[in-house]
Amino acid sequence: MRAMNLVTLVLIILGGLNWLSMGISGHDMIGTILGGATLARLAYVVIGLAAIWQLMPGFQSLTVGEVDAEKHIHHHS
């Protein structure tokens, strides 16, 4: 579980940096790197799923507190 949380966090950060690039320069780094609309769309779906995955610990931290949510996540890894 911990590895999945790290992977999804990295994907969300990359997606955010891509949005920053698009907002500042209008350049889609992910689309350029992957070289095709189909691969870029797949990457966006994966990044979106990573964001959904990260919602779980986020919501847990609202109900049980951040420290307890982290303990719960690491306990199940």
Domain count, the chain: 1
Show Cβ contacts of residue 64 under 8 Å, excluding neighbours closer than 6 positions.
72
How far apart (Å, rounded) are the C-alpha atoms in residues 49 and 11?
Answer: 10
pTM: 0.71
The counts of H helices and E strands in the chain are: 4, 0
Query: What pLDDT score does 73 carry?
Result: 55
Could you tell me if 31 and 37 are in contact, meaning their C-beta atoms sit under 8 angstroms apart?
yes
Q: What is the pLDDT of residue 67?
A: 61
The pair of three-digit structure tokens given for residue 28, joined into one six-digit string = 């889609």
Q: Which domain holds residue 12?
A: 2-75
Walking along the chain (77 residues) 10 residues at a time, the average pLDDT comes out as 88 95 94 90 95 83 65 55
**Radius of gyration (C-alpha) of the chain in whole angstroms:** 15
- Model pLDDT, residue 65: 62
Check residue 10 and give its pLDDT: 95
Q: What pLDDT does 44 receive?
A: 95
The one-letter amino acid code at 23 reads G
